[in-house]
Structure 1
Amino acid sequence: MKRKSIFLTFGLLVLSWIGCVENDLPYPTIVGQITEMEVAGMTSCRILGASNTVEIKVADTIDLRDLRVEKLVVTEGMKVYPDSAACLDIAHFPDTGFVSADSLPAGMDTRMNFLNPVKFRLSLYQDYDWTVNVSRDIVRKIKIKNQVGSALIDDYTKNVIVYVDSTEQPSLRNIEIEELQLGSSIAQTTPDPSKVVDFTRPRVFYVTAFDETEEWTLSVQYPNANVQLTQLSAWTRRAYVSGSISKGEVEAEYRKAGETVWESVLPNEISYEGEDFLIMMTHLAAGTNYEYRLTMNGTVGEILTFTTDTIMQVPNLGFDDWVMKNEKTWYPNATLDDADHFWDSGNEGASIASRNPTAPETGDVVKGRAVRMASDYISIASKFAAGNIYTGDFVGLAGIEGAELDFGQPYTGRPSALKGYYRYTPGVIDQAKAPYDALMGQTDSCHIYIGLFDWSAPFRVNTTTGTFVDLTWNNESMIAFGELKSNEATGSEYKQFKINLTYRDYFTHPKYILIVASASKYGDYFTGSTSSVMYLDECELVFE
């Protein structure tokens, strides 16, 4: 009995000591992200991870005051706290993410008022605030008889200016409005546009929909010398001019500043869409001053000028410069200084096992040094690591298993292609995770891609939350894109490649460039072959 008493006393002392021990282990940092979101009537969605913002457009017939959230996918484990003032029934709004509102238990209500920006707070160990902005996808349509060019629309001041041909329309007292849609396609416009004919002064129209009324001012004027009906975009070796012409055709000529002979733009370099035209001037010299003039229906316009862009390469595209940090981690840059940091890889994450999936190659090269990317399995972390390289920065680990990367580096050039040499030996996929676990046993693929974006900051990738750059044209930030994907071995020799860039438009300057190469295409999802190896050498941006 005495022994039992001693053991009991000892046990109580131990429990008391344990109860006094403080838990000094820090909570893990798991970033709260909205990775997917859909609402009723949605036409597009843009998720900006860098600013924790979601930009959604819906059909112009949708009432923003009573809008159902149909999908809200967030970082696993996060609690969702929506703006209570925006919820039509806060008591029945889900407190977790969901892939479909139809799959929620009966009685749940995901309707919200999106007339103003709506806040969502995601919380696990830390709080992350997101803002969702929803707007109608309104296409404003203005067409007046004898109109010249496109209408000038100021959405902010709600002013519209339309120019008409002074010969065909000598009076502003008998203007004929053929089409006027300034708001939603179901909005009511007063007064009736077809009955307003006198535009010797600006006229006011009231556009009403969803119990809201907007006041718009429409002016009809004659063009004058100060009116610019054309837009020019000068690239490195070509330039684009867009404009409008009510009837007939347009011709264009250009020459270097100081020269006397004009060069005519070929007919196949001028395209038309309705009254709008697009002219392309080619075979230009980089960083050079030019003059050009347009001829519309036989009338020669004034001489205008432009300067082409200079050639903008990015550092170390030949992959000759390398530096080692702490005698264990390779970086594809000239020095470790921030000013020289343009490229990065997954080496920092693999450094816990003193491994470098991405390293310099000095033997098997086209010239100088090359980059060798060998996919690997890091046993100490129990994770597959694809050999890769990208323009950007490794930020750090995210949670227990993932990483955060800043994709993209500042860049304003507009190349036409990326070319270089690669050598690839694919292995059989022996590491696979969802959603690509079905690829197990298939041949691995390499991936090289280049994109130009108008981001305001680098894109924060988070492999834990599945936050990656959208490489489809649904991504409105993407200005240009091109890629190479292959599961074929190149043999013992390097193979030359050229990736042409497709541009969304010719007039937007990019702000960031993203170049990524990986020996395993789905390495971001920890899927690939530990036998896949890719070499990349002597790359450069092409300006044509």
Structure 2
Amino acid sequence: MMKILRFTILSALVFSLSSCIDWDYFGLSPKAEITAFEVEGQSGTSQIDSLNREILVPVNESVNLDSLKTTNITISSLASVEPMVGEVQNFSDTVIYVVTAEDGSKVNWKVKAFRQTSEIQIENSNFDSWYETEVTWLFNKYTYNTPTPQSDVLTSRIWDTANRGAVASFVDGGNTTPQDRDGGKYAQLESIKVPIYNIAAASLFTGYFTDDLPPDAANPRNNTKFGITFGSRPVSFSVEYRYKPGTEYYENQNPATGDDQCDIYVILQKRVDGQRYRLGTAWHRSGDAVTDWTALNLDIHYGELPAGSPAFMGLNQNAGEEEVGFADPNDIPTHILIVFSSSALGDTFTGAIGSTLDIDNFKLNY
């Protein structure tokens, strides 16, 4: 159901030439980073300042700061952290987390929680913030402090693409790229021709593409974590878009006769004790050509889907992404998945070469 770029076997060959270890010297690692931090009742993505070792965690207005349990702390390889994930802390004041690197050195991180208003927007939803590395476009993942990529500071994971996988298939810059519009940018997603599998759909989504390379060519979904923390109840979403379906159609990577479709959707989930429940759904799948910028407005349906809803809108059963049922329609979500794809069935190597989806100015409405 979720769309993600398929990789060719060539990707594994390319990246197998480089080490999976993220330091380039021998000995014990001094790295003591925190790259993700989440608590119960979180309303948005934590802002991580790696330079000053500070983390700001937004939580719902109704949350009791005196007793919050951490649900995820991601740290450097071979490091450890205290307090550990799952422990309850008093976040009405700053909490110190100590990360111990493999070499025994310790780094103190200051973590602060703050209540956020209920009408939350997703950062960079106008799609203006991009930067280009030596190999590809990356989207809203780093604060770019200097011209040296090694000096980039990881602040949060909000939007991401599979461009690094596309580059592994020898696609310069990837197939999700920024284009100019009215003094800003928009995102252009294009399904492209690649070796072996013939077609690779472009995607843009909330979540992140794995930092571990080489990617899993046999199961590309293993490379992608869909969704970010979110704790509000929008009634609808809007986005400006254009779509041009391609004509060179493939089905399960074989030449075929058919019509391509784009996907634009929002899913709200409640994740509890390692299980995912569907709370809200808003989905646009269409093969109609839209040549001029057009405003799409779609209501979010809470709870079980109405009778007669398309099968593709149903509960996700992909391995590692399984939704076990529908949440109470009055619940507060814990995560939001926003997905755009140039070919709706691209994850099965199905779609048309040249299908192009342009998106701009995404907004949640309350």
TM-score (norm 2): 0.54
The residue correspondences of 1:388-537 to structure 2 (distance < 5 A) are 388-395=203-210, 397-400=215-218, 402-404=220-222, 405-433=224-252, 440-456=256-272, 477-491=277-291, 493-504=292-303, 505-537=328-360
Greater Cα radius of gyration, structure 1 or 2: 1
Q: Does 1:342 align with 2:158?
A: yes
Distance 1:369 1:430, change over 3 A: same
Per-residue Cα deviation, 1:90-135 (whole angstroms, up to 9, x for no partner): xxxxxxxxxxxxxxxxxxxxxxxxxxxxxxxxxxxxxxxxxxxxxx
Distance in 1 separating the partners of 2:197 and 2:346: 14
Contact 2:160 2:207 in 1 (8 A): yes
Match of 2:32 in 1: none
Q: Does 1:317 align with 2:125?
A: yes
Distance 1:443 1:407, change over 3 A: same
Distance in 2 separating the partners of 1:322 and 1:349: 17
Give the 3-state SS of the residue equivalent to 1:494 in structure 2: strand
Distance in 1 separating the partners of 2:258 and 2:161: 25
Contact 1:346 1:394 in 2 (8 A): yes
RCO comparison, higher one (Cα < 8 Å, 6+): 2
Distance in 1 separating the partners of 2:284 and 2:273: 26
Distance in 2 separating the partners of 1:351 and 1:529: 20
Q: CA deviation at 1:399?
A: 4.6
Give the 3-state SS of the residue equivalent to 1:455 in structure 2: strand
Q: CA deviation at 1:431?
A: 2.3
Distance in 1 separating the partners of 2:335 and 2:116: 20
Contact 2:208 2:225 in 1 (8 A): yes
The residue correspondences of 1:23-62 to structure 2 (distance < 5 A) are none
Q: CA deviation at 1:310?
A: 2.7
Distance in 2 separating the partners of 1:322 and 1:411: 23
Q: CA deviation at 1:540?
A: 0.8
The aligned amino acid for 2:122 is: V
RMSD between superposed Cα atoms in Å: 3.1
Give the 3-state SS of the residue equivalent to 1:477 in structure 2: strand
The residue correspondences of 1:346-385 to structure 2 (distance < 5 A) are 346-352=162-168, 353-355=170-172, 356-362=174-180, 365=181, 368-379=184-195, 382-385=197-200
Distance in 1 separating the partners of 2:358 and 2:182: 10
Distance in 1 separating the partners of 2:329 and 2:348: 34
Per-residue Cα deviation, 1:19-72 (whole angstroms, up to 9, x for no partner): xxxxxx9xxxxxxxxxxxxxxxxxxxxxxxxxxxxxxxxxxxxxxxxxxxxxxx
Distance 1:322 1:454, change over 3 A: same
Match of 2:135 in 1: 328
Q: CA deviation at 1:366?
A: 5.6
Taking every aligned residue pair, what percent have the same amino acid on both sides?
26
Q: CA deviation at 1:511?
A: 0.7
Distance in 2 separating the partners of 1:440 and 1:309: 50
Contact 1:429 1:527 in 2 (8 A): no
Contact 1:429 1:444 in 2 (8 A): no
Per-residue Cα deviation, 1:374-402 (whole angstroms, up to 9, x for no partner): 111222x5452111101111125225463
Distance in 2 separating the partners of 1:458 and 1:484: 28
Q: CA deviation at 1:367?
A: 5.8
Contact 2:159 2:208 in 1 (8 A): yes
Q: CA deviation at 1:368?
A: 1.1
TM-score (norm 1): 0.37
Contact 1:408 1:458 in 2 (8 A): no
Matched residue pairs, number?
Answer: 218
Q: CA deviation at 1:318?
A: 0.6
The residue correspondences of 1:59-208 to structure 2 (distance < 5 A) are none
Per-residue Cα deviation, 1:476-532 (whole angstroms, up to 9, x for no partner): 7010010111111112x2011012100114431111100000110001111111110
The aligned amino acid for 1:328 is: V
Distance 1:520 1:367, change over 3 A: farther
Give the 3-state SS of the residue equivalent to 2:249 in structure 1: coil
Distance in 1 separating the partners of 2:274 and 2:128: 25
The aligned amino acid for 1:513 is: I
